[in-house]
Amino acid sequence: MASRVAVVTGGNKGIGLAIVQALCKQFQGDVYLTARDVGRGEEAVESLSSEGLKAKFHQLDIDNLNSIAAAAAFFKQSYGGVDVLVNNAAILMSSAEPYGVHMDVTFKTNFFATRDMLTHFMPLVKAGGRVVNVSSTLGRSALTQCDPALQQRFRSEDIGEDELVGLMQQMVDKAKNEEPKEGDSPLKAYSLSKTGLTVLSMILARRLSKERPNDGILLNACCPGWVRTDMTSPEASKSPEEGAITPVYLALLPPGASEPHGKFVSDQKVQPW
């Protein structure tokens, strides 16, 4: 029988690397560190190996559909699917380009490409599987700044994937076509992309409950906390290892667990949305 397998995107550094590290210690099965750059990924696998941890490597650039499809085909062929998927890869821009560019580029990776990952990998998630989307508390703060009608849709139980995708695309188009407003920034674009990812997680969890009610798959979004990585600053409060705790907790929810599912979780607790 094929071994169990866990897959982490953006695993070459930061929180992703710490998630891979923790899974190598705690997950019963093969752990794949994936990265868009083969050199950076293999170097990270090597660094874990020097700690006595055995991660495997597969190239995976979530912005590239061919790369996603090739990885999905590999895991299907080699393991019959995946047991744990952690969608960790994301970007936060810091350039001085117009807000429309920040929205376009940030949404491309953090929302649309992560959705592409989910589209290709959800059918591969085995019974008892765990899916963790690394989102952010900033996504909730951004939600509270959206206009009330949008907030209502993003919180509703009946929003579907197509409607969400349309609303996310509208936000990008609006940012590209309108004059920038006060408060528009790369961080705002990042935060809104994470609003979308959390809503997408809730939609996909509801779909799992409906379409695969007996498979016991749990899917959640989470925030790792404010973590010292290249995305933030040395002043952040948590180490990458501490930031990995909640994503790993969700990835390793014990067999037979029925919750959390379709929730936004931080500090290992379900948070209001």
**Which residues ranging from 84 to 103 are in contact with ligand NAP (CB under 6 A)?**
88-91
The encoded tokens of residue 63 equal 């912005």
- Segment interacting with ligand NAP (CB under 6 A) among 32-40, 124-132, 141-149, 175-183: 32-40
| Phi, psi for residue 21 in degrees, rounded to 5 | -55, -50
* 99 is known as an active-site residue: no
Q: How far is the CB of 134 from ligand NAP (least distance, A)?
A: 4
**Which residues ranging from 225 to 244 are in contact with ligand NAP (CB under 6 A)?**
226-227, 229-232, 236
d(CA 206, CA 221): 13
Please report where in the chains the tokens 């085995």 appear, as a residue: 126
d(CA 17, CA 103): 26
The encoded tokens of residue 194 equal 């994470």
Residues in contact with 173: Cβ distance below 8 Å, sequence separation at least 6, in sequence order = none
Of residues 31, 10, 36, 9, the one with CA closest to residue 21: 31
| Residue with Cβ nearer ligand NAP (90 or 208) | 90
Size of the site for ligand NAP (CB under 6 A): 31
Going by their DSSP bridges, the two strands 269-271 and 264-266 should be labelled as antiparallel
**Could you please report the per-residue DSSP string of 95-132?**
--S-HHHHHHHHHIIIIIIHHHHHHHHGGGEEEEEEEE
Give residue 52's region: left, alpha or beta (phi > 0; psi -120 to 50): left
116 lies in the site for ligand NAP, by CB under 6 A: no
Find residue 32's DSSP bridge partners: 7, 56
| Residue with Cβ nearer ligand NAP (5 or 227) | 227
- Segment interacting with ligand NAP (CB under 6 A) among 10-18, 21-29, 45-53, 68-76: 10-18
Binding track, positions 156-195, relative to ligand NAP; x by CB under 6 A: ----------------------------------------
Q: How far is the CB of 82 from ligand NAP (least distance, A)?
A: 16
Q: Among residues 136, 191, 201, 246, which is the contact residue for ligand NAP, using CB under 6 A?
A: 136
| Residue with Cβ nearer ligand NAP (100 or 243) | 243
Q: Count the residues in the chain.
A: 273
Binding track, positions 48-77, relative to ligand NAP; x by CB under 6 A: -------------xxx--------------
**Contact at 8 Å (CB) between 78 and 147?**
no
Q: What is the set of active-site residues? A: 190
Instruction: List interacting residues with ligand NAP (CB under 6 A).
Output: 9-10, 12-16, 35-37, 40, 61-63, 88-91, 109, 113, 134, 136, 223-224, 226-227, 229-232, 236
